[in-house]
Amino acid sequence: MKLRSIKNINVKGKRVLLRVDFNVPVEKGKVEDDFRIKQTLPTINLLKKKGAKIILISHLTEGRAKSLKPMAKYLKVKFVKNKIPEMRNGEVIMLENIRNYPGEEKNDKNFAKKLASLGDIYVNEAFSVSHREHASIVGISKYLPSYAGLLFEKELKNLQSALKPRHPFLLILGGIKIKTKLGVLKRFLTIADKIFIGGALAHNFFKVQGKDIGKSVFDPEVNVKKYLNNQKIILPIDVKIKNDAILDVGPKTIKNLSQIIKESKFILWNGPLGDFEKKGFEKGTLETARAIAQSGAKSIIGGGDTIAAIRKAKIPLSQFSFVSTAGGSLLEFLAKGTLPGIKILEK
């Protein structure tokens, strides 16, 4: 799979619509987690060096900030759409939340065309939302020459390596969004040597086994019965409970998983193993992060909660081979091998 890359084009004097994902936590008007923003800087700096006029496009979901102004302030860039005709080479400006417009999520043809009229070239640097068939991800490519950014290419290259990994290969799946994990579980049964199941997904397995899970989170619409006897799948052997709900894996499970991590040469991890934000129930997730960081194995980590747990454990992200900015798109790519945002950039 080869993509059209910005590394190979002349952008001097061209208006480049750069789709980024700055949907990050903001507290009191200030960016609280700049991981995703920092990952886009190499592309922004390359385009500036090449003399492009860069127009940043991003979205914000409900529950985050109401405006992208804190992100513009963080980057020290202008936040004015009507200044586009006056832009100088190497200048950067940012547009307001793209999801303020109904045509974005509907992938409306007219909206995509209007958006495209603002630029000369389109660059996708938002791998993390490239599973969405939205106007600023897919629709715009019909009206502008379209290319992948440096981070986009990096994400794709690393996630592709998980499809042909070194062995022994360990996949760790946790978190609370059970349905999003099933496609990955199904596909990786033929790729991974061992698959550890934690978080709420494990509760579904316990339920099918006939165990009492009390008030623990599980999805009654998800049936994992066909996976029960698969020898590759490893479930927690002990858990920590509070108020009749499973909130973390237990010490025996942590010890067992840590040993498997030591024996692995490639590790892919998505999703915490328990309710790590609650005091007393973070150990399973944090100890897993520490074990992976110290393992010497090639490691790929993804998902917002997973990264938050690593930060809580005070482990530098540099101790992992690759930390993805993606969550949902990571899972969809691993399950299907492509994304709508990838297809429109292929040569």
Residues with a known catalytic role: 36, 177, 304, 328
Task: Report the distance separating Cα 190 and Cα 1, nearest Å.
Answer: 21
- Other C-beta atoms closer than 10 Å to the C-beta of 190 total 7
Bin 25: left if φ > 0, else alpha if -120 < ψ < 50, else beta. Answer: beta
d(CA 27, CA 315): 23
Alpha-carbon gap, residue 307 to 267, rounded angstroms: 15
Q: Please say whether the beta carbons of 322 and 307 come within 8 A.
A: no
Euclidean distance between CA atoms 65 and 113, whole angstroms:
27
User: What is the DSSP secondary-structure string of 109-161?
Assistant: HHHHHHHHTT-SEEEE--GGGTTS--TTTTGGGGTS-EEE-HHHHHHHHHHHH
Query: Whose CA is closest to 321, among 159, 200, 185?
Result: 159
Which residues partner with 340 through β-bridges? Answer: none
Q: Which residues contact 273 (CB under 8 A, 6 or more apart)?
A: 172, 174, 198, 199, 236, 248, 249, 284, 285, 288
8 Å CB contact between 236 and 274: no
Cα Rg of the chain, angstroms:
21
CA proximity to 311, closest of 57, 43, 33: 33
Tell me if residue 218 falls in helix, strand or coil.
Answer: coil
Cα gap 90→126, rounded to integer Å: 21
User: What's the rounded Cα separation, in Å, for the pair 206 and 146?
Assistant: 47
